[in-house]
Amino acid sequence: GEDVEQSLFLSVREGDSSVINCTYTDSSSTYLYWYKQEPGAGLQLLTYIFSNMDMKQDQRLTVLLNKKDKHLSLRIADTQTGDSAIYFCAVIQTGANNLFFGTGTRLTVIP
C-alpha cells in the first residue's frame, strides 16, 4: 500500500508564505491532490497535479512535485487567517480508484 506522510503542525504569521510538505512512497502515483478541512466541515479540494508535471500555480497556491524524491509541496502566498485549517495531501496510484490520504498538517495563521 501507499504511505503518505506530512508534518503535523505549521504556524505562520499573516501575510507570510506557508509551505506544507508531503512525501509518498509509491512511484506509480499518478494524481496528487491537496485538500483543505476546516473545523466541522468536509474536505474541500484545493488543487491537484498530474505526475508528468512538476509545478502548477493557481492564484495564491503553488504546487511543486519532485517525482524523483516523491515529494509534494503546497505553497500558500500571502497567508490569511481564513487559511487556518488542516491540509491533506492525497494520491491515487495507477489503476486504483481511491485516494490515499496523508495524516494532515494543521496550519495556524497568527494575526
Please report how close the Cβ of residue 103 comes to another protein at its closest, in angstroms: 5
CB-CB contact of 48 with 31 (8 Å): yes
39 binding another protein? (CB under 8 A): no
31 binding another protein? (CB under 8 A): yes
Count of residues in contact with another protein, rule CB under 8 A: 22
Q: Which of 59, 68, 69, 98 binds another protein (CB under 8 A)?
A: 98
- Cell 473545523 -> residue: 39
Q: What is the C-alpha to C-alpha distance for residues 12 and 35, in angstroms, rounded to an integer?
A: 19
- What is the DSSP secondary-structure string of 23-73? EES-TTEEEEEEEEE-TT--EEEEEEEETT-SEEEETTEEEEEETTTTEEE
| Contact track, another protein, 51-90, x by CB under 8 A | -------------------------------------x-x
Considering only residues 4 through 23, tell me which ones interact with another protein, judged by CB under 8 A.
Answer: 4, 8
43 binding another protein? (CB under 8 A): yes
Q: What is the C-alpha to C-alpha distance for residues 44 and 36, in angstroms, rounded to an integer?
A: 5
Q: What is the C-alpha to C-alpha distance for residues 72 and 80, in angstroms, rounded to an integer?
A: 22
Query: In this complex, which beta carbon is closest to another protein, that of residue 18 or of residue 105?
Result: 105
Residues that bind another protein (CB under 8 A): 4, 8, 30-31, 40-45, 48, 50, 88, 90, 92, 97-99, 101-104
